A and B are shown apart, each in its own frame.
Chain A
Amino acid sequence: MTVALILIGAVVLALVDVPARSLGVSNGVSPWLPPDGASVTGELDGTLSSASAALFAAPQATQSLPTTTGAVLIGTLDHELATTVWRRTVATADHDRYEVYTAGPDVRLLVRGGASIAGFAGGLLVLPHDAAPGARWQSSGTTVQPDGLQWQSSFTASTAERPDCLATAGELTVTGSHDSAGRYEVSQTWCRGRGLVRDRWVAPDGKVTAWAETGGTAPDVGSIGTGDATDAPGDPRDWTLTELHPTTVLPGSDPEPMSGAPSGPPLTTTSGLLVLQSGSDVVVLDAHEGTGPVARHRLHPGGPITAVGVFGDVVLAATMARQVVAWSAPTGAVLWRTGIDDVVHPVLARLTDDAALVALASGAVLALDLRTGAEMWRAPALVGSDFPASVGPTGAVLVAGSSGTVELREATSGAVRWTWRTEATIDGVVLGSDRAWVMTDLGLYGIDPGTGEDTVLRRAGTATLPFVAGDRLVLVRPEGVRGLDAEGREVWRRPYGCRSASAGAGGVLCWQADRVSLLDPRNGTVVVEQPVAAHMSGQLSASVSATGVWWRVTSADGSSWVVYRWSA
């Protein structure tokens, strides 16, 4: 009886879990639609642009659209959100244009962006599940935006020039007293597994909106900058704190606060764009002075995001679907997409001007070419909560291996310069100009980067965060902060109880209970402090660059989108 009960329990558990296990498998999604995260290059009204696809449950989609567009979507679905939708994003020069469709089995247009938003209650049927050459279909309903207009549509399908594609043509008639009323001509080409490859709308006033896939690669693969900014750090004592409120601006609409829940720290590109993760999207914002940052592109890699990084003007995102995707931040175009073995560590590190280093959960580090996504080299690495490698200033990278080894490798080729072994348990590695530092349970080892011989062994204690700043190794513990020289001698000690710390901007940033302090690594003195008591109520995410500090606080009061910049 007991065994039978367990077997029955197993079957019941498996059955009730079926819907959840099917999430992301795209059950019921039309075979004409592209996969989640797919992106193609095309021309919008004669201008190069890219179109990307996202498959969402409707509630998630409402959080992944500007607030007004999300509200229209809810209206078109009559608040019945238990459906999967296809968000098609066409990137224009300064903002994205959104279209939202039901994902299947029939494909219905729910929301169409553009000069103004149009919402079709129940959805304008653009591709029925049994569409084939010669088929005809009709649909009708009312509009949600503007409200209350009547619409009816009639489409026919014919054979397209391309194989495995279907051409559709039809008309949409909107009646009522509004500027948008009238007869629209619509012609589209759908390709199996690729979605819309051609989309042409002629408005009642004769204005044509046309998008057509051109294929090929994004226009700026070769020209986009991948190196860091070379701005001078300036004097931190001149830094001021700026509070920024990101907004979305769509043509014909007033600016509106950003919707959705951001996560991770604010990142900046060399061309001054601000990058934030929001749910399964990466949002690129113009860091406008005065009006606050304005959203330009919403990038979707496909599946939940595990890591986001910015390298020059390239935005990198790693996903739970074991892919790494790179976009051009200014245009929103996908530069490349590559598959990897496992989920990556949340830190994406810069390796060289045109290469990034990622760590896999399976225990390896990969060097990826930022221009092509090609794997340059890989090495076995420690699986830990900290990033298992440290990139130094001399074209080398220090990698903590899985079995008590530490290797200094050439950043460009991955060739091993030397290998150092220990019986101790390795906790982390830091590479400076004069020393390679290895944190272990036996203590802190200082290794000559030229020879690979350890010359220093020093106590570090548990719960120690090590940073290289200037020519000092800075050890941060709950009890205080210490600065060591290359020989491991303690040069200074300060009783700062840092909650967290990071290096950059020419010093070490120590986040305390009510303020953030920039410490001079040479002597441990406080260069400049900024009170942040009001920001410490939630989870604080910060990024440090050569020119200043950006942070954001995840809080429950809806202010998560507020970004703080502390710089010159």
Chain B
Amino acid sequence: MVGLTLEAEGPPTRVRMTTFLATAWRRVILEPVRDGRLRDIDWPPGLRVIVIIGYVALVLASALALLSTPLRLLLPLAPVTDEITIPRAVVGVLLLLAAVVLTSFLLACCHGPVWLLLTGLLVGVPALLVMTLVVLLSSIGAPYAAIPALAAILTIAVLMLVWRRRGLGPWQFPVLFALVLTVAVVVAADASIRAVPLGYDVLPGQVGLLIGVLAPLAAPLTFAAGTAPAEVTVTLASRTSSLLGRTFRRSVTYTVMLAGAFLVIGQLVWQVLTGRYDALTGSSVITTVSVLVGCSVGVAAMVRMGRGRWRTDGVADTGGALGWPAGAVLLGAIVPLLAVLIVLMMLSAVVPSLDWSFTLLQRTWPVPATRLAASVVALILAIWSARRGQPVRAAILVCATAALLPMVLNGLLDTDRALVIDLDLAGLLLTLFLLGWMTWLAARRQLTETRAVGLMAITVVLVIMPHRQAFGEPLEFLFGPGVLIILFGLWWQLFTSSEVGNRDSRHFPRTSRVLLLLTSVLLTVLVLAYNSLTRQPAAGGMQAMAELGDSVLGFGILGAAVAGIAIDVLRDRLPA
């Protein structure tokens, strides 16, 4: 059992505030980055330069996303489709970035497990073919340009199979990149030679098509990016509170705890005065209370099952690591059902009685139904994790599932009122609980300094929670809706949740892990840049995706952290 108390740390030392702030910066920002970033651990020759190229490409793509508004204002626009336009000058840059993404992805697949190789052959190669198809299907003149492009694609596929037997060589990325670039150049040249004389600029459409094919792969990481504010909130609350408790005198700890309590009360009063609770509905109250109770009871059960291996300090890291797989499962849960429906639709040509499969896709219930199935899987995984001594992961999954269930039920049930978790109400209930608990502990003279630190950490979460997404909003007019918060989340994910890329195994070598991580972040930023430059609503749905991540897994992280800190308070130990 891991348990930290102030007594174990010895008496507090008087230090200057600057030292405290420097240490807090190190513990809240630098340590997560140090522990979670990609590290050069026995990287094979050639991998380092690929990672550097990847980081440069990331900076470039991020700059395109951030500067989309002035770029649209200053540069001539070209049509991507009948309704979508893009600054023409950046199309080539996007194509080059897409070539880097594809090369990195194909190389990751080449050196990864069999399932990844198949994914590369089924997604990466077809993505190149999609661009080439436009050349092939062009009705003007013979498609000679398709020959070198198809030859390059075939060579890529063959090389992926050949290189699989060897390790990463320093020349593999350049060769693969040259082949991918050959396809891109052939497509661009063909567009210039054959379409331009006819008055058509087809390259923006082709780049849009390519990014459109790859865009679904960016969805899981966008979901994960949405959890970043919750991760930072939890890390900030638990680590700064513990640090403050260790660093300053006892009186300072109690004073700050009380100040935090007053701040929470002040926030509550402000919310009441500004009418935030006026529109509360019975269904919201019931839903919010149910989810809070479900999350609390669930965390308690998981901690109990985890046989005391609870570490509040690990909530943010564990939550961050869950982001991509949770996003992949939640958003990809519909894929098997879609596959079944497509097969049924094809069969309906022979068996007319199956024609109901056509209308099924137009219905709204398949998405919530598959997410309900994902929730069940998450709960099973939570119990399994707790029994294997990973109660933190289990607790996050339970709270995330509790947050997801109302959304699922909204999609499945035709109720008059939506089942909505009201975060303001959740904050109110937690605040009342916190104040009551504080008073009760003080009255019974059980409010130790260690407990005061835990309660202080909860007040910090309660103060930040309503505003965790707000830092991007004032700049939305400049960067577009959601762009800043998604970019922050993606960079935070890359720097703090890449530990999986530092691991190594025979079936899933480190080289492939590093390349895959880099590819996923770069692809997601590229899709964000494209959506911003083309001014697609809510960053092409990525804002909603990130908000879903925040509402589900972000809530899970916050819920597990608050419940975990409460357990720490009960046990009279520090949260971090």
Chain A residues engaging chain B, CB cutoff 8 angstroms: 1-3, 5-6, 9-10, 12-14, 16-21, 23-25, 56-60, 81-84, 263, 304, 306, 320-322, 341-343, 346, 361-363, 380, 383-385, 402-403, 423, 425, 442-443, 454, 457-459, 461-463, 477-479, 497
Contact = CB atoms under 8 A, between A and B. Distances in A.
Given A5-B178, A457-B281, A304 B199 contact: no
A442 B279 CA distance: 12
A479 B413 CA distance: 13
B382 interface: no
B173 A343 contact: no
A461 B449 CA distance: 49
B24 interface: no
B77 interface: yes
B197 A81 contact: yes
Interface stretch (B87-95, B119-127, B151-159, B497-505): B87-95
Given A17-B91, A383-B481, A342 B535 contact: yes
B498 to A, nearest CB: 22
Contacts of A478: 362-364
Contact of B72 (A1, A263, A304, A342): A342
Contacts of A380: 477
Given A6-B53, A342-B72, A461-B411, 4 more contacts: A1-B174, A59-B197, A457-B279, A459-B415
A362 B188 contact: no
Contact of A20 (B192, B364, B410): B192
6 contacts: A2-B50, A13-B184, A14-B92, A20-B201, A82-B198, A478-B362
B30 interface: no
A9 B188 CA distance: 12
Contact of A23 (B83, B201, B359, B424): B201
A20 B196 contact: yes
Interface in B69-115: 69, 72-73, 76-79, 82-83, 85, 88-89, 91-92, 95-96, 99-100
A2 B169 CA distance: 12
Contacts of A3: 49, 53
A461 B365 CA distance: 10
A347 to B, nearest CB: 11
A383 B535 contact: yes
Interface in B170-190: 171, 173-174, 177-178, 181, 184-185, 188-189
Contact of B174 (A2, A12, A16, A457): A2
Nearest to A14: B92
B76 A24 contact: yes
Contact of B538 (A24, A383, A497): A383
A13 B185 contact: yes
B418 A57 contact: no
Given A320-B77, A322-B77, A16 B188 contact: yes
Contacts of A479: 363-364
B73 A341 contact: yes
Nearest to B407: A441
A464 to B, nearest CB: 9
Contact of A19 (B53, B88, B184, B192): B192
Pairs A-B, 8 closest by C-beta atoms: A57-B199, A82-B197, A361-B535, A60-B199, A16-B189, A19-B192, A384-B537, A59-B198
A459 B416 contact: yes
Contact of B188 (A1, A5, A13): A13
A2 B72 CA distance: 31
B545 to A, nearest CB: 12
Contacts of B185: 9, 12-13, 16
A20 B537 contact: no
Given A320-B79, A362-B72, A403-B476, A461 B85 contact: no
A263 B78 CA distance: 18
A456 B210 CA distance: 44
Contacts of A304: 79
A231 B197 CA distance: 48
Contacts of B196: 19-20, 23, 57
Contacts of B424: 423
A497 B363 CA distance: 10
B547 interface: yes
B544 interface: yes
Nearest to B91: A17
B523 interface: no
B420 interface: yes
B198 A60 contact: yes
A16 B200 CA distance: 15
A320 B80 CA distance: 11
A118 to B, nearest CB: 24
A322 B87 CA distance: 12
A16 B192 contact: yes
B46 to A, nearest CB: 8
B477 A342 contact: no
A459 B77 contact: no
Contact of B82 (A10, A19, A263): A263
A384 to B, nearest CB: 4
B295 interface: no
A459 B410 contact: yes
A402 B364 contact: no
Contacts of B364: 461-463, 477-479
Contacts of B481: 363, 383, 402
B53 A2 contact: yes
A559 to B, nearest CB: 19
Nearest to A63: B199
B362 A5 contact: no
A19 B185 CA distance: 13
B468 to A, nearest CB: 13
Contacts of B313: none
B188 A17 contact: yes
A320 B78 CA distance: 7
Contact of A9 (B96, B198, B537): B96
A5 B416 contact: no
Given A1-B174, A2-B53, A454-B279, A497 B199 contact: no
Interface string B195-211: 11111111100000000
Contacts of A82: 197-198
B233 to A, nearest CB: 18
Contacts of B417: 443, 457-459
Nearest to A319: B77
B414 interface: yes
Contacts of A403: 473, 476
Contacts of A454: 279
Nearest to B172: A2
B69 A461 contact: no
A17 B364 CA distance: 43
A20 B197 CA distance: 9
Interface in B244-282: 279, 281
Contacts of B202: 20
Contact of B192 (A6, A17, A462): A17
B538 A2 contact: no
Contacts of B95: 13
Contact of B418 (A2, A12, A263, A443): A443
A461 B198 contact: no
Contacts of B178: 5, 9
B522 interface: no
B191 interface: yes
A405 to B, nearest CB: 12
Contacts of B92: 10, 13-14, 17, 21
A6 B83 CA distance: 32
A57 B198 contact: yes
Contacts of B362: 478, 497
Contacts of B88: 21
Interface string B339-378: 0000000000000000000010011100000000000000
Interface string B389-422: 0000000000000000000001100111110100
A287 B143 CA distance: 43
A402 B477 contact: yes
| Most B C-beta atoms less than 10 A away, residue of A263, A380, A383 | A383
